[in-house]
Amino acid sequence: MQQIIIIGSGPAGFTAAIYAARAELSPVLFASQVEPGGELMNTTEVENFPGFPEGIQGPELMMQMQQQAERFGTQVVYDDVASVELQGDIKRVTASDGTVHEASTVIFATGSAYRKLGLPEEDRFSGHGLSWCATCDGFFFKEKTIAVVGGGDSAMEEATFLTRFASKVYVIHRRDSLRASKIMQQRAFDNEKIEFIWDSEVAAIHGESEVTGITLRSTADGTERDLALEGLFVAIGNDPRVHLVHGQLELTSEGTIAVEGRSSRTSLPGVFAAGDVVDPTYRQAITAAASGTTAALDAEHYLAARPTTVSADTEVTAPAAV
């Protein structure tokens, strides 16, 4: 039986693994077969992770996190977790190959998925003019003409934020009115760099190695036209990856795993959660990494506080958590 199983191989999972491994808890980390390394594998330059003054490529950063976790004894399993049983002292984690792993604690670091447009060329342009994160990538679009897709609060926030860098920001929305709150709408309407394109969706993205334009399709009459652009931001929502814990852990109204205060403690003892799967607001690599630290320390304290049976009639209680 393991002491800690970590599910997820993004910054939250690997940081939790570094701390747990250095505490000699020999963590097992499920890295996923399909998407090991998390969201940063889909981007190019990361310029806001401290410690890399010249920036670092997303996949390179994740490889270094993994190496650091493995250096202290983390066992990385390249498989997806198919199901979990979280009640009771012994947690059961079933991998997609059917193997059942048991552990005293489980850390969920499964992240969240930005909703995509559903276009075949989306993966190819990710990090090459196509982005899901204005905070992360806005800086790369100084004096450029770009567009934001979406009609909710986050689309308005991203569009307004992006006017700090871009010379022109189109907002493309499927309908003729916005879902965003009145105040966010007004802020966008008042911004002279923002122009709205109503009743339209993106039908195709063009470019060789970088985005150079899109085809817009009218949702009213189906007509199409091309628009030259140097960047496209998609802000149509984000889904925390919580399918494994439905019916077992409490969720928030935003769909993230509910945790107690600033801790990573979920609604079940011995089960912890970290990173974007608990965070509807910040969703950055550094905040995910920090919350991975919290989860590893919470799990460590939980393990240390549990009674340990030494023999049939002797019970030793480990020192209480700090």
Tell me the catalytic residues.
Answer: 133, 136-137
Question: Applying CB under 6 A, does 284 fall inside the site for ligand FAD?
Answer: yes
Instruction: Report residue 228 CA to chain centroid gap.
Output: 30
State the number of binding residues for ligand FAD (CB under 6 A). Answer: 41
Question: Applying CB under 6 A, does 17 fall inside the site for ligand FAD?
Answer: no
Question: Applying CB under 6 A, does 266 fall inside the site for ligand FAD?
Answer: no
Could you please report the per-residue DSSP string of 60-104? Answer: HHHHHHHHHHHHTTPEEE-S-EEEEE-SSSSEEEEETTS-EEEEE
Instruction: Output 11 or 213, the one with its CB closest to ligand FAD.
Output: 11
Question: Applying CB under 6 A, does 265 fall inside the site for ligand FAD?
Answer: no
Of the residues 2, 4, 6, 9, which one makes contact with ligand FAD according to CB under 6 A: 9
Instruction: Output 48 or 163, the one with its CB closest to ligand FAD.
Output: 48
Question: Applying CB under 6 A, does 233 fall inside the site for ligand FAD?
Answer: no
Q: How far is the CB of 197 from ligand FAD (least distance, A)?
A: 23
Neighbours of 142 (CB within 10 A): 10
CB-based burial, 244-283: b 16+ in 10 Å, e otherwise: bbeebbebeeeebbebeeeebbbbbebbbbbbbbbbeeeb
Burial class (CB in 10 A: 0-12, 13-18, 19+), 48: middle
Neighbours of 313 (CB within 10 A): 6
Question: Applying CB under 6 A, does 299 fall inside the site for ligand FAD?
Answer: no
Question: Applying CB under 6 A, does 275 fall inside the site for ligand FAD?
Answer: yes
117-126: Cβ within 8 A, 24+ apart: 117/149, 117/201, 117/202, 117/234, 117/236, 119/202, 119/203, 119/204, 119/205, 121/204, 121/205, 122/205, 123/42, 125/205, 125/207, 125/210, 125/211, 125/232, 126/42, 126/43
- Selected range binding ligand FAD among 97-105, 182-190, 197-205, 276-284, rule: CB under 6 A: 276-284
Neighbours of 92 (CB within 10 A): 16
Of the residues 133, 203, 251, 258, which one makes contact with ligand FAD according to CB under 6 A: 133
Of the residues 66, 76, 80, 105, which one makes contact with ligand FAD according to CB under 6 A: 80
Q: How far is the CB of 71 from ligand FAD (least distance, A)?
A: 19
Question: Applying CB under 6 A, does 39 fall inside the site for ligand FAD?
Answer: yes
According to DSSP, residue 257 is labeled B
Question: Applying CB under 6 A, does 126 fall inside the site for ligand FAD?
Answer: yes
- Selected range binding ligand FAD among 103-111, 158-166, 189-197, 228-236, rule: CB under 6 A: 103-111
Instruction: Output 33 or 181, the one with its CB closest to ligand FAD.
Output: 33
Instruction: Output 35 or 199, the one with its CB closest to ligand FAD.
Output: 35
Binding characters for ligand FAD, 189-228, by CB under 6 A (x = yes) = ----------------------------------------
Could you please report the per-residue DSSP string of 108-147? Answer: E---EEEPP---TTHHHHBTTTEES-HHHHGGGGTT-EEE
What is the Cα–Cα distance from 8 to 296, expressed in whole angstroms?
Answer: 13
Question: Applying CB under 6 A, does 42 fall inside the site for ligand FAD?
Answer: yes
Chain positions contacting ligand FAD, by CB under 6 A: 7-13, 30, 32, 35-40, 42-43, 46, 48-49, 80-81, 109-111, 114, 126-127, 131-133, 136, 241, 244, 275-276, 283-286, 288
